[in-house]
Chain A
Amino acid sequence: DTAVSQTPKYLVTQMGNDKSIKCEQNLGHDTMYWYKQDSKKFLKIMFSYNNKELIINETVPNRFSPKSPDKAHLNLHINSLELGDSAVYFCASSQNSRGLDGYTFGSGTRLTVV
């Protein structure tokens, strides 16, 4: 059983389209995250939810909207995709919002905007 699973693994789409990435964790963790990794491997946090409550909302264009229907799921919807949105998006989860036991990451969604 995959602990943190993301779908799709690859996403190729045209500029201006709207797309969603889904994430599910079966670890019973309270906290989930979205990270963006650029081509130089730099990781930037985007959002974090703790028990369905948004707790971290970094400076991200409002074209990005997270949704957490329950604590096991965190989805990311992106409107009006731009070339600069091309990156690998990682979902992660942790036992609680302190993250002291470390994060469990999904395998990533490689988004390519053409």
Chain B
Amino acid sequence: GDSVTQMEGPVTLSEEAFLTINCTYTATGYPSLFWYVQYPGEGLQLLLKATKADDKGSNKGFEATYRKETTSFHLEKGSVQVSDSAVYFCALSGTGGYQKVTFGTGTKLQVIP
């Protein structure tokens, strides 16, 4: 079945550092890929998405590129802020009829001033 593997956290960075959170997936066909963010005490919010190979999703300074050859969708940001502290979830939606979104285990990011 479909699966998503994320790097384990927590990831602790200083403000303005470069962020990479790794995500790889296993799926048949051509899934759609997502990053969600969960701030403390809140539900998940869609951060960005990519629906086909080589697509780049971007939002709020975050980017991720759908790499089919490496089955990866790594999240990057050039300069993190304290307000980016949250849990980040990589996810995929498979192909075919009724599909559930499969979430990774989440990576906690802590940005310190």
Q: Which residues of chain A have a CB within 8 Å of any CB of chain B? A: 4, 33, 40-43, 45, 48, 50, 55-56, 90, 92, 97-108
Q: Label chain B's interface by main secondary structure.
A: strand
Are A105 and B101 closer than 8 Å at their CB atoms? no
Q: Which residues of chain B have a CB within 8 Å of any CB of chain A? A: 32, 34, 36, 38, 41-46, 49, 51, 87, 89, 93, 97-101, 103, 105-106, 108
Contacts of A108 in B (CB 8 A): 42-43
In the bound complex, CA of A15 to CA of B96 (Å): 40
Contacts of B100 in A (CB 8 A): 33, 45, 48, 56, 99
Q: 30 A-B pairs, CB-CB below 8 angstroms? A: A4-B43, A41-B38, A41-B106, A42-B105, A42-B106, A43-B44, A43-B89, A43-B103, A45-B101, A48-B100, A50-B98, A56-B100, A92-B43, A97-B97, A97-B98, A98-B93, A98-B99, A99-B93, A99-B100, A99-B101, A100-B93, A102-B34, A102-B46, A103-B36, A103-B44, A105-B43, A107-B42, A107-B43, A108-B42, A108-B43
